[in-house]
Structure 1
Amino acid sequence: MQTTLVRQDLASQANAVESRKEAGLPRITDPALQRGAFKSRNPFAAPGNGNGNTNRALVEALANSRIYQEYEKAFSEATGLPLTLRPVESWQLPHHGKRNENRFCHILAQKSRACGECLQVQERLSERAAEEPHTTSCAIGMCDTAVPVRLGDRLIGFLQTGQVFRKKPTRTQFERAVRQVAEWGIDADEKTLEDAYFSTRVISPRQHESIVKLLSIFAQHLSMLSNQVVVQHENAEPPVITRAKEYIHEHQTEELSLGQVARAVNTSTFYFCKMFKKVTGINFTDYLSRVRIEKAKNLLLNPNLRVSEIAFEVGFQSLTHFNRVFKKILGQSPTQYRAQLLGR
């Protein structure tokens, strides 16, 4: 019954996919969206407007897809701006720790009060961008733009970019921003703030219009892709793989072996190895490495932690191995990644 409701709700989008096929356009496919990495049957199938958990699961699947990651990288390299795909209800700073995060905003993120102000701006932006793209400004004068992403008539999330000025900032505006920062309790060197503030991108109205158009086109693409996610995830991930992933996340800092995880989920090593690769699309070792690197990325945000400490903290037994795996997955060394995040 639930699947029937979803398919009815998605009829218009399904027709759009068929139109692409008839027009000779390539079918939107992504192995990452065909692997069924979810615990319940069709977790995205929610009638009506769905709910927060349903939308978050769907947005997470889209954000992890190859097509989104390639687009995000291309967009960031072409514009120099951060890009985030986030659910409607999100209590995380959208661009923190992302590629091209604004240096001034990164400084503000150190204090919870400043974060609270940013999240209030994000909430207002979500309300105003529910029907169409919208741009709003924060107390510092920087702008963020959100473009809605839909599954049929259902709003599931936003493509969000920004941390930019629409006009060249003045000295008076900077002094006002410094006073605001002081009120938020942020103790930062004024020269550091000044360099970060005036290095912020300034985009013209024409550039802004083009950016919104690009994101709107991609949002439509993601809407069609989300249909495939719903249909392709009707068959749930095997419980043995779900339990294995949970075990890996819980014990990622330990010396984990394929056989150890197989025993933990009560199956043979041979069967588990074959099933894990079939369901996830990557082998056990690569999956474990990616889990550890994701944790390392968060730890690298802390400038007080040495790279060697982080390597052992996330489960690597040597710094050399950590550096090699990190560069293989992210295309740059941990030191380079940290420098990019912290604006050094």
Structure 2
Amino acid sequence: MKISELGTISEKLSQSHIVRDYERAFSEATGLALTFAPGGKKRPGMRGSTAANEFCTHMAESEPGCRMCVDVQEKLAATATGGTTQSVMCLAGLTDSAVPVRIGDKVLGFLQTGQVALKKLTPADFRRVSDFLKKGGADVDWETLEHAYFDTRVIGRKQYDAVLRLLEVFAQHLALAAEQIATQQTHAEPPMIEQARQVIEERSGETLTLTDIARSVHASTFHFCKTFKHATGMTFTQYLAMVRIAKAKKLLANPQARISEIAFEAGFASLTHFNRMFRRMAGQSPTDFRRQVFGLR
């Protein structure tokens, strides 16, 4: 998939009601800030969130504080790009976390939360922060900053880990929405590619070859292969696998369906191949996905 397509899908998600509603509900339920950050974009913390930490907001208004926030976010995004949830602690002793949202084997963006302390903050902690700001030439209202600092939410590690697990479940639901957008996204595509997408999605449960699809759109295999890759950013094989995995994810919601049955219904010739492709594209096994997203065993 092309980077431009990933960007389009990511932006659509960030502006969707499902993300906005979840951000609002999450903040109301936990008191923590939450934003969906599209991949590749720098964001200084969670400014703009109604639950943003007042101390972090004040910090970002000074040059050294803003620089520190941006550095933390860049480090967080860099470590989470590998596809697993990551947390980073800043100089002030506050923790930020990023939960990646994946589409196939690509990271689409991150659910970011945090700006919390995982242990009680001390006067020594604040002195470390104020010394850093003064060294950087910051001119701030020290009394207001100190009050905001000690007003920071303190949450135990066990509870915070549970919060991150909730976000991992939501990330899986966002991935399903993103995959649906990806498979339906046909803007500026040649009619041949639109038709090919439709055929692939309708017949994904069958044994399909590149030659079959090329023939169905009345094109040579070479011409279709080249045009499809140029239009979608994926090979035919990669796209077919993405469609099949997306179908399998929906089928996993049925508690009566066995993993082997789902694999074959989705179009995979063997359970081993299905498990390998599912783990590669979803970052976990079908069984773990079913348990995490649908609460089924």
Q: TM-score, normalised by structure 1?
A: 0.52
| Structure 2 residue matching 1:86: 3-state secondary structure | strand
Please provide the CA RMSD for this pair: 1.7
Aligned to 1:150: 102
Match of 1:78 among 11, 21, 29: 29
Quickly say closer, same or farther: Cα 1:54–1:108, change in 2 above 3 A: farther
Letter in 1 for 2:83: E
**1:198 is aligned with what amino acid?**
F
Distance 1:97 1:182 in 2: 26
- The one-letter amino acid paired with 1:181 is L
**Corresponding residue for 2:170?**
218
Where does structure 1 lack aligned partners over 5 or more consecutive residues?
Answer: 1-45, 237-344
- Report how far residue 195 of structure 1 moved: 0.8
User: Secondary structure in 1 aligned to 2:155?
Assistant: coil
- Match of 1:125, SS? helix
CA spacing shift, 1:172–1:94, aligned 2, 3 Å: closer
Of residues 145, 156, 161 in structure 2, which corresponds to 1:193? 145
Aligned AA (2:16): S
Deviation at 1:227, TM superposition (A): 1.0
Instruction: Work out the CA distance in 2 between the residues paired with 1:213 and 1:105.
Output: 24
SS at the partner of 1:158? Answer: strand
Q: How does 1:146-185 map onto structure 2 within 5 Å?
A: 146-185=98-137
Q: Distance in 2 between matches of 1:186 and 1:144?
A: 23
1:92 aligns with 2:43: yes
**1:131 aligned to 2:83?**
yes
Cα distance, 1:91 vs. partner?
A: 2.0
Say whether the 8 Å CA contact 2:43–2:73 is kept in structure 1.
no
For 2:28 and 2:86, the matched residues in 1 are separated by: 23
Distance 1:55 1:122 in 2: 20
Structure with the bigger RCO (C-alpha within 8 Å, sep 6+) is 1
Query: CA separation in 1, counterparts of 2:96 and 2:21?
Result: 22
Cα contact 2:62–2:140 (8 A) shared by 1: no
Match of 2:186 among 215, 218, 234: 234
User: What does residue 59 of structure 2 align with?
Assistant: 108
TM-score by length of 2: 0.60
CA drift at 1:92: 2.5
> In percent, how many aligned pairs have the same letter?
41
Question: Taking structure 1 as reference, are residues 193 and 94 closer, same or farther at Cα in structure 2, changes over 3 Å only?
Answer: closer
What CA distance in whole angstroms lies between the structure 1 residues aligned with 2:12 and 2:175?
12
2:69 to 95, 118, 129: 118
Q: Tell me how far 1:159 sits from its aligned partner.
A: 0.6
Report the more deviating stretch, 99-108 or 53-62. Answer: 53-62
**Mapping for residues 9-88 of structure 1, pairs under 5 Å:** 46=1, 50-51=2-3, 53-88=4-39
